[in-house]
Amino acid sequence: MANSVTETLLGAAVLVTAAGFAIYANQVAGDGNGGNDRYALVAKFSSVEGVSTGTDVRMAGVKIGTVTGLTLNPETYQAELDLSIREDIKIPDDSEVVVASEGLLGGSFVQLSPGGSEFMLAAGDEVLYTQSSVSFLDLMVKFATGNGED
């Protein structure tokens, strides 16, 4: 009988710990905002290498949203990113969106640099100033062949 009580208590402790981890993971993945208080923006790039659905959108190194969609426009041949931004973060209409890398071997993320305009982007607006990703391999080839010099 003592064994079954001990096993029951141990099982309950494992379940409580697992629930704690699940709650923590949900808060980290969703910024703790529940995902309901967000608005959408669109940005167009010539290259979004390394970016996929779920990629972080950051401002000043802080996650403020995620990439929710990635499509290729068949008419312009540009990649169109759908960004989901926290509602409490207002983005000036002259802001810039850059596909950045966390380092030489790190993953990519979308960096949003705020502009100085007094007018803010609304839900569904397009961010006009974008900078595409830079391929590390292309940079190495240019360096090795000397084609990067003027």
Q: Are 46 and 22 in the same domain?
A: no
Predicted confidence (pLDDT) at residue 89 exceeds the cutoff of 60: yes
Domain membership flag for residue 150: no
Look at residue 149 and tell me whether its pLDDT is greater than 80: no
> Does one domain contain both 7 and 48?
no
Residues 81/70, Cβ–Cβ less than 8 Å: yes
pLDDT in tens, 51-85: 889 999 999 989 999 999 999 999 999 999 999 99
pLDDT of the residue at 38: 92
**Which of 6-10, 22-26, 101-105 tops mean pLDDT?**
6-10
Q: What pLDDT does residue 49 have?
A: 84
Same domain for 75 and 120:
yes
Q: 64 and 14, same structural domain? A: no
pLDDT at 32 over 70: no
- Same domain, residue pair 94 and 22: no
Token code pair at residue 96: 């810039």
Q: Dihedral, CA atoms, 118, 38, 65, 63, nearest 10 degrees?
A: 80
Tell me, yes or no, whether 82 and 125 share the same domain: yes
Of all residues in the chain, the percent with pLDDT exceeding 90 is 45
Tell me which amino acid residue 37 is.
D
80 and 131 belong to one structural domain: yes
Within-domain flag for 50 = yes
- Determine the 3-state secondary structure of 44 from DSSP: strand
Q: For residue 33, is pLDDT > 70?
A: no
Residues 101 and 134 in one domain: yes
Let me know if residue 147 belongs to a domain: no
- Rounded average pLDDT over 41-60: 90
| pLDDT (0 to 100) of residue 24 | 72
Copy the structure tokens of residue 94: 């002259």
Are residues 97 and 59 located together in one domain of the fold? Answer: yes
Parallel, antiparallel or unpaired: strands 38-45 and 79-86: antiparallel
Same structural domain, 55 and 121:
yes
- In the Cβ-directed half-sphere of 136, how many Cα atoms lie within 13 Å? 10
Q: How far apart are CA 51 and CA 28, in angstroms?
A: 20
Write down the mean pLDDT value for the chain. 83
pLDDT tens-place string over residues 103-129 = 766 788 999 999 999 999 999 999 999
Q: By residue range, what is the domain housing residue 10?
A: 1-30
115 plus 133 within the same structural domain? yes
| Residue 149 forms part of a structural domain | no
How many distinct structural domains can be found in the chain?
2
Reported pTM: 0.66
